[in-house]
Amino acid sequence: MAKFTVTIDPEVCKGCELCRSVCPKSVIEMNGAVNAKGYAPAFAARAEDCVGCASCGLVCPDGAIEITKEGE
């Protein structure tokens, strides 16, 4: 099975939680710390469970999430 890398830019994320709501594997959680803009950004808490559907990246209004397949 392919492995995927979830990259979330914490300085771009505004913590809207849309990504968390669409993730079928509950990979994404919200960070307790705030970024420079005062938002609590998302992070990949269980990146090893990512199936590469990229729903999180598609729904992110700020383009803060990138999913890549390992080896690409």
Range of the domain at 27: 4-69
Q: What is the pLDDT of residues 35-44, one digit of tens each?
A: 999 999 999 9
Cβ–Cβ < 8 Å for 19, 36: no
**How many domains does the chain divide into?**
1
- Residue 72 confidence class, pLDDT cut points 50, 70, 90: low
- CA gap 30, 44 in Å, rounded: 9
Confidence (pLDDT) at 62 = 95
Confidence (pLDDT) at 36 = 95
- CA gap 14, 17 in Å, rounded: 9
Asked if pLDDT for residue 16 goes beyond 90, the answer is: yes
Write the CATH number for 33.
3.30.70.20
- Residue 71 confidence class, pLDDT cut points 50, 70, 90: confident
SS3 64: coil
Asked if pLDDT for residue 1 goes beyond 70, the answer is: no
